[in-house]
Chains A and B, each alone.
Chain A
Amino acid sequence: MNKKNLVAAALLTAVMILAPGASSLSAAPAAQLIVALDPDYQTFDPALAYEAYGQMVLHPVYDTLMQFEKTIDDLKYGVAESYAVSKDGLSYSFKLRKGVKFASGNPLTANDVKWSVERSINLKGNGAFLAEGIASIEAPNDLTVVFKLSAQDSSFLTKLTSNVFSVVDSATAMANGATNAADAQTSDKAKLWFDGHSAGSGPYTIESYTPQVEVVLARNPNYWGKAPYFEKVTLKSIKDPGAQLMMLQKKDIDVAFNLGPEQVKQVKGKAGIEVAKAQSMTITFMLMNRDPAVGGPIANPDVQKAIRLALDYSGMQTIAGEGAVTPVAPFQVGFFGSLPPKNPKTAQNVAKARELMKKAGYEKGFKTSFEVSTQTVEGMDLPTLAQKIQNDLKQIGIETEIKTSDIMVALDPYRKGKQALSLWYWGPDYPDPNNQLAFLPGNSVGLRANWTAAMSPKLAALGEKTAVEVDPKARAADLKAIQELMDADSAFATLLQHARQYAYRSDLKGAYYNDTYKLNLAAISR
């Protein structure tokens, strides 16, 4: 064979090898929805799953008593059709919908609800704390379940939307090694089974799960509600946002969920692709230590206020990407009782910041360390933001030395309150402003800044009252007062509430964002 024939043969072989894969472009079945994401789920056991994307899979597979329709202030009934609360706020009685069946065909009863929640409590997974306030669960009949709480909890109904409260087909689960016994942490053997199977009553079932590759959901023929449009939903693990973007452009996927600001710019306005923008509940904030032994000059409340005034929020929002806002306090915009975001143009007042520094006795400024983990938050690099802040603080004389470290290393001093000035982010554990009470003086995050209740007794007391306030009007007023107080005096500077941008093929409908379950897969159609 001469050289030319050899080259021709090689090229032909290359085309023959590549062609089958290339020709599969856009060949996914019409009845299949393909979503690309960079997932963090480690299990699909509803009692144990507690990762951000876990609920995306579990929401269409398992029903809960309450659920969010679209936004997180749009609480609706799930598998419950009504509820009643006792006057003392300690007893919640739910009536279940009639005729609901699990995917197995077994009827969904109050006993399944009781069993499921008890299993979640006893397995002691990362989400079990959501059920901490439950003293007992009773199922007086097949369609009634009663929760008795040990203390009033104004966020109880919201908590019930979590996958930790998923209603599981107890018969199927027990047949596969699950138990709700008190020693479930050691005796339950169903975790691996749940990773590749499901026992729910939602519009989908888990057909298969290949870690690091994909999870496939299949339509549940026994679903009690409106059947979803797609027969199958495949969630593909595609870590790289550039790869997600390319696959969306080639129509190999329908939704690219983890695009950063740079990728969104490339795809905006392109034919056949829509970019969705939604408010995420993730916030980025600065911690300023109130303990002089740790924070030095930073511990001075006037210095902390000066820092908040010196920051260029407009510039930070540009770094975070389109749609980012700055809440007044660490209470996300969109939560019940939240105040409108700060006006970034007027929130900065360098002249006033300098006056406060002078009042605090630091007219000439000072030096401090500034600790930052090397994380990317909603597509934004924290060290990049830290450099911006460093420049802003120079204007009022504060020289910061940025110290970066991996988050696993940074978490320890953060939790122990050993950081003078640091940059962190926070995503709520459940979609309720009670989450954010952790930032108040004397509470878990407040104490990381050594901000004790004694330092701000009025704020601390207001936080305790709000946590148990069941009257919505009174609760809203308390939350407003808390945010205003924290805007005036706080150990934190709330910098950003991030936007979430993702892209999808323009022939899809219903691909709206919800911070709890990200996308309502069952609501999407073509």
Chain B
Amino acid sequence: MLFLVFLVIGVSLIVFVISHTVPSDPVLANLSQRNIGNPEMVAAFKAKWGLDKPIYTQYLIYLGALLRGDMGLSIRTQRPVAVDLKAYFPATIELAVFAIVIAVVFGMAFGIISAIKRNTATDRIIRGISVLGASVPSFWLALMVLLLFYVVLGIAPGPGRLSSRFSAPHTVTGLFVLDALLAGDIPLALDALSHLVLPGVVLGAFTMGLITRTTRSSLLEVLSMDFIRTARAKGLAESRVITRHALGNALIPVVTVVGLGFGNLLGGMVLVESIFAWPGIGRYAYQAARNLDFPAIIGVSILIAINYVLINLLVDILYGMLDPRVRYE
């Protein structure tokens, strides 16, 4: 807990300093051109947002409020930053979870097949797909999948979280699929789920590529070990050798890649969110940066930092589960 407090202070300080040293002025970003020329309006704006105080005073005031749980008001939306994050983050979580599931399922499957069929045509095809997935620009892939599956084939829905005929479910978690299920509205849940597929595939492609390659190389390394030779010599079926003996030992680096990938997804992907009209944290962060909306910038940064800390904790716990030699005091 104490670590989290230090993390929040550290992140807020670094982001505060960086955002205040960019060669631009939040007055220019947020006031109209007319009002920028009006000294009274500029003074009122600065007074309202505390920008007329020395920078260290501004930070201390902000930190004091932050430690009381108040992330301040967004200069751009004029809503509490915490309210904004609560509105946008669930959309990112929902998409990130879907994307990481796709990445893990397909990434590991491809990685295992590629390792088993090492140096065959199958292996080469899979490795080609994984390189493509990791190197194709996500915004290009987003437009291509929309064009193919939505426009040409007509088998997938268009941008947005829901179709036009649906209204958002009553908010419990902000995750539309889950909230719709909780409300017992199956058509709505399915509609929300269908809208996750294309952006989920696009976002998952990069991490899937990494997981495939990591799974393959890690599994190959484990498969070359003595205990695997012993298991085979005992007459165990190859599938059992892989699933019961090899895979568990190969998973540790994979879990690391999954953790990093998930953390990256939870930070939002502004280009993909823009193309799929996904109201996530990426677009919010981008607009905050464009408007020099300091409270929002720091709020998003802290959220992303906390995400990474929690994910790393989860990864460490998984290490312990996967490898009995790993024990934490």
- Binding between chains A and B: yes
Alpha-carbon distance between A50 and B191 when the two chains are bound, in angstroms: 36
Known: A250-B150, A252-B158. A237 touches B279 (CB 8 A): yes
* A519 within 8 A of partner (CB): no
Taking the nearest CB of chain B, how far is it from the CB of A42, in angstroms?
A: 6
- Give Cα A181 to B22, complex, Å: 37
- Judge if B194 is at the interface, Cβ distance under 8 Å: yes
- Report if B284 contacts A (CB, 8 A): yes
Interface residues of B in 37-54 (CB under 8 A from A): 37-38, 41, 44, 48
Instruction: Name the interface size band of chain A.
Output: 35 or more
Per-position binary interface string of chain A over residues 1-24, scored 1 when its CB falls under 8 Å from any chain B CB and 0 otherwise: 000000000000011111111101
Decide: B193 and A17 in contact? CB cutoff 8 A: yes
Of B160-168, B219-227, B254-262, the segment with at least 4 beta carbons within 8 Å of chain A is B160-168
In the assembled complex, which residues on chain B have CB atoms less than 8 Å from the CB atom of A474? none
Chain B residues contacting A21 (CB-CB under 8 Å) are 156-157, 163, 190-191, 194-195, 197
Q: Are B155 and A22 in contact (CB under 8 A)?
A: yes
Our pick among A192, A210, A253, A415 for the contact of B28 (Cβ within 8 Å) is A415
Q: Does B118 belong to the interface (CB within 8 Å)?
A: no
Q: Which of A43, A237, A246, A415 contacts B151 (CB under 8 A)?
A: A246
11 cross-chain CB contacts under 8 A: A21-B195, A43-B77, A43-B78, A126-B32, A129-B38, A213-B277, A242-B143, A243-B276, A250-B158, A252-B158, A409-B22
Question: Residues 238-275 of chain A: 1 if any B CB is under 8 Å from the residue's CB, otherwise 0?
Answer: 11101100110110110000000000000000000000
With A20-B187, A21-B157, A429-B32 in contact, do A250 and B151 touch (Cβ < 8 Å)?
yes
Within 8 Å of chain B (Cβ to Cβ): is A411? yes
A175 interfacial by beta-carbon distance below 8 Å = no
Is residue B76 within 8 Å, beta carbon to beta carbon, of the partner chain? Answer: yes
Binding site for A on B (CB under 8 A): 22-25, 28-29, 31-38, 41, 44, 48, 76-79, 84, 87-88, 143, 146-147, 149-151, 154-161, 163-166, 168, 187, 190-191, 193-195, 197, 274-277, 279, 283-284, 290, 292
Q: A20-B191, A42-B77, A126-B34 are known contacts. Are A243 and B157 too (CB-CB below 8 A)?
A: no
Residue of A nearest to B166 (CB): A24
In angstroms, Cα B283 to Cα A238, docked, is 12
B277 touches A237 (CB 8 A): yes
Report if A240-B274 is in contact (Cβ < 8 Å); known contacts: A192-B79, A250-B151: yes
Q: What is the CB-to-nearest-CB distance from A504 to chain B, in angstroms, rounded to a whole number?
A: 16
Docked CA distance A211–B284 (Å) = 10
- A97 contacts the other chain (CB 8 A): no
Partner pick for B146 among A20, A246, A429, CB 8 A cutoff = A246
Chain A: which residue is nearest B151 at the CB level? A246
- The residue that B78 contacts in the complex, of A25, A191, A412, A415, with Cβ under 8 A, is A191
Name the residue on A nearest B156 (C-beta): A18
